[in-house]
Amino acid sequence: MQINKLFAKPEAALTVLSNYLAQQNRIIESQLIEINQSEKTAIQEALAKNSDIVSNYNPEKIDEIKRKIDEINQTQEDSSENQQQNILKLSPLYAELMRLEGDYDNDIQAQYINIYNEQRSYLQGEFSSIQNNSNLVLVYSQLEISLKEICGELKKELNLPIYVGELKGDDMQSVSKYLTKFCGVSGNLFSSSDWKFLDTMRKVRNSIVHNANDISFLLREDVKLVETQNYLLEMNNIDGVTIRESKIFITSSTLVEQTIEKIKSFYFSLRMELAKHRRNK
């Protein structure tokens, strides 16, 4: 099989994934605009409603409420029971007076701002993190699938004695062993910065998939402390990854996009290695 054809499907998958991520980002942006517009509309409608309530009352009504308030305030009662009763009488009168005089405007705005701030906070925080986590899993799964398919095609082309799945280790370890041992790929490729980055993303992916973002398992007694420290240090040094309360969160879609770019770069290097091996045969 020609090298270009060997990488056609994996590269097409990356293009689809890139477009998918861009579309998701546009959806998030449009949702944020929608939340802001809904907030503005809700405040305007609430203020208009409050204005209508005020306009339906005449000044005589306001004066009447003020007189009632004055009468209660002028009542001198020493007992705490009577004072409590006066407070209960005054509260609804003051509330009605504030509404009639339009003093509720700021309260109304603050109420709706709080409601929509919660929506904005969830959209830009927890929801985006869940989405980014899912997207990283999707992208990395596609990488594993593509590399195993490439190994499968090379197995047929080179008439190799075993399949990649017969090698011990996880999928990525098996792939690296297969390509270096049977396909003529230099081991330097798997010590490159691209591969090291992708291997770090593998650790993040595994924490997401197998431990629901939880990395507290690294603190078990059977895990060496130095291994834990190195892992946490490695995670903390990645832009777009946050460790909070023993959980990993991907806080930026940029990290997923960067992973796609690293995969593209790795594919290019792998393509060059395979082409070199063919020339040397």
Distance in angstroms (rounded) separating the CA atoms of residues 242 and 137: 16
Tens-digit pLDDT string for the chain (281 aa) = 688 889 999 999 999 999 999 999 999 999 999 999 999 998 888 877 766 655 555 677 777 878 888 887 877 565 566 667 777 777 787 777 766 665 555 677 788 888 999 999 999 888 999 999 999 999 999 999 999 999 999 999 889 999 999 998 888 999 999 999 999 999 999 999 999 899 888 888 988 888 888 877 766 666 666 666 677 777 777 888 888 888 888 888 999 999 999 999 999 999 999 988 777 76
Q: Which residues contact 159 (CB under 8 A, 6 or more apart)?
A: none
Distance in angstroms (rounded) separating the CA atoms of residues 96 and 87: 14
Distance in angstroms (rounded) separating the CA atoms of residues 237 and 242: 9
**CA–CA–CA angle 206, 149, 277 (5° rounding):** 110
